[in-house]
Amino acid sequence: MPLESVAYVPIYLFTYVGLLLTPLSLKKNKWLFLVWFFLVNVFMFTGLWKIHIAGMRLPLLAFSQLPAVGMLLYLLHYVHHKKIEINPRAWVRWSIFRLIGVYYLLILFSNELPLDFVAKAAFFEIIIGLWAVGLSFGKKNLFDSVWFVAWNTLGLVSSLVINFQIRYWAYFGEELPQRFDLILHFNRFPEMWLSLYWVPLSICIHLVLFYCYLEHRIKGRVSKT
């Protein structure tokens, strides 16, 4: 079996895991995530991403970020108005899909992507995924755990760095000839699931958890006064 085919296994596997572990509190809103995921596939199979090659960089960047921004604002609105109850352990368990980083490990020496990017992505994504498994067990409120704060911080930084680098390559690809193939790499099936869905979604998850954590800490301080 070709290495490329083997490398796709963690993408398919942890995409299934991510969809399966969507928190029950989002059950009524799960269709929004499915619509987002569906649009990514439409974008991919219709070849609409090729608007970048036609020189239309901003539409590509807008499409890649606006769904995530919209979803984040939607979730924060519902959390703020208590329409969604956040179980931090369930949301951390959801992030087990970050083990999708095994994909980067499998393509480490394929020369398709810069070695420094692939090595860091593989290391941090796998660490975050395994850490999420560990935090999924236990009875202590995660919002009172320093390990949760450390995990959430590392997870957010890793997602932001990966997201920034992919968008940077997409925007400046023509000025970076040696990296133009990176645009093609993250805009093919199934790699586009990473660049347009799982990476932006992971940013949303970490920011929502940070919002809930800060809310929890503020309420704790108020109750002590």
pLDDT, tens only, 117-135: 788 888 999 999 999 998 9
Locate tokens 């109850």: which residue?
85
Instruction: Output the pTM of the full model.
Output: 0.84
pLDDT of residue 54: 47
More confident residue, 147 or 36: 147
pLDDT of residue 97: 92
Average pLDDT of the chain?
78
Residue 115 in this model has a pLDDT that exceeds 80: no
| Domain range list for the chain | 3-224
For residue 173, what pLDDT band results from cuts at 50, 70 and 90? Answer: low
pLDDT digits (tens, 9 = 90+) for 178-218: 555 566 666 677 777 888 888 889 999 999 998 888 887 77
